[in-house]
Amino acid sequence: MSLPPATPVGHALPTVAAVIVTCNRLEMLQKVLDHTLAQAFAAVVVVNNASTDGTAAWLETCTDPRLHCLHETVNSGGAGGFARGMDYAARQTGCDWLVCFDDDSWPHPEALSTFQALRLPPAVGGVAAAVYFPSGAVCDMNRPGINPFASAGKFFSLLRQRTYSFGIDPARYTQSTPLPVDYASFVGFFVRAELVRGPLGLPQTDLFIYADDILYAWKLRCLGLALLFVPDIHFIHDCKTTVSFMNNRWKMYYIVRNRILFYKKISGRVFPLFLPLLLLSILKLYRRNKDLACIRALVLAAVRDGLRSDTSRTHANVVALAEKS
């Protein structure tokens, strides 16, 4: 998909509010804010998800007038945090666009100006950036994807390949032409503020963590709006700060349940045909974490809840189940 020429001189640039969710990663957050505030974001909204490491106190010492700090008393996960921050940014900052990213990721120095130079037609509701590790390698977990269930040919090709990863070809990162995609992560995810206030709404908070971003992007596509992957917009994701399953066994529940929920949504009526392949991928994930054999009950609960589309289980219950497993 080609875009019109860059914004002409004298044309008002779109204003952008950054939305960052953080929880107990103060040192990394400080680095992220250094990179973010160095660019011309009209507003920077930080949702402090009940951190206990001094994050709140440090944020209150920051004097940049663009910074808006929302201190939560309960950790509502990435999904709840982004919903809170996006709602505030869309309604309180007056910005045209929002861009979401985690507290271990940040925009390349030219990311904002590159986005602002685009002339996006109203039919484009969102933009996904190219996300890299600090080493310069493509960050696989943040690769946007294309719906493989859009046609019978693509679906049966998927079955033959026995794959469940639908991310775009990394070779697309070296091209400048924007590519229409069907879902993307919240690292470098731009969305029109008017959509957040209107038909698109907010991320699904009861997902807690994982897949809230790709389900949100898919909802945008279901509204008939385009989501573009723009390779020239770069973000960095320092994933080495991610906590392992060994210390957070409960994360396995959300990975499994929310993966099922996502594929139920995107595959539609062919989900029963795809289900065996999906369950196989979950089994592989379980076996890969063989040191966590005690999580079997947690995974089984996640599969059961996912197949029932049941998101009523509280986070406290998930944590308790993980401790019993």
- 60: DSSP letter: T
Of all residues in the chain, the percent with pLDDT exceeding 70 is 87
7 pLDDT higher than 70: no
The CATH code of domain 16-241 reads: 3.90.550.60
pLDDT digits (tens, 9 = 90+) for 257-297: 999 999 999 988 888 888 888 888 888 777 766 556 667 88
pLDDT digits (tens, 9 = 90+) for 73-122: 999 999 999 999 999 999 999 999 999 999 999 999 999 999 999 999 99
Q: Where are the domains of the chain?
A: 16-241, 251-324
Query: Using CA atoms, how far apart are residues 166 and 277, in angstroms rounded to an integer?
Result: 13
List, in order, residues 6 or more apart from 248 with CB less than 8 Å away: none
Regarding pTM above 0.75, the answer is yes
Query: Using CA atoms, how far apart are residues 154 and 169, in angstroms rounded to an integer?
Result: 15
- Sign of the Cα pseudo-torsion (25, 30, 32, 33, in order): positive
> Which residue, 31, 27, 49, 22, is CA-closest to 103?
22
Q: Which tokens hold the place of 276?
A: 């065996």
The H-or-E segment that residue 229 falls in is strand 226-237
pLDDT digits (tens, 9 = 90+) for 43-84: 999 999 999 999 999 999 999 999 999 999 999 999 999 999
Task: Give DSSP secondary structure letters for 64-97.
Answer: -TTEEEEEESS--HHHHHHHHHHHHHHHHS--SE
Query: Using CA atoms, how far apart are residues 36 and 230, in angstroms rounded to an integer?
Result: 19
List, in order, residues 6 or more apart from 205 with CB less than 8 Å away: 76, 77, 79, 80, 83, 212
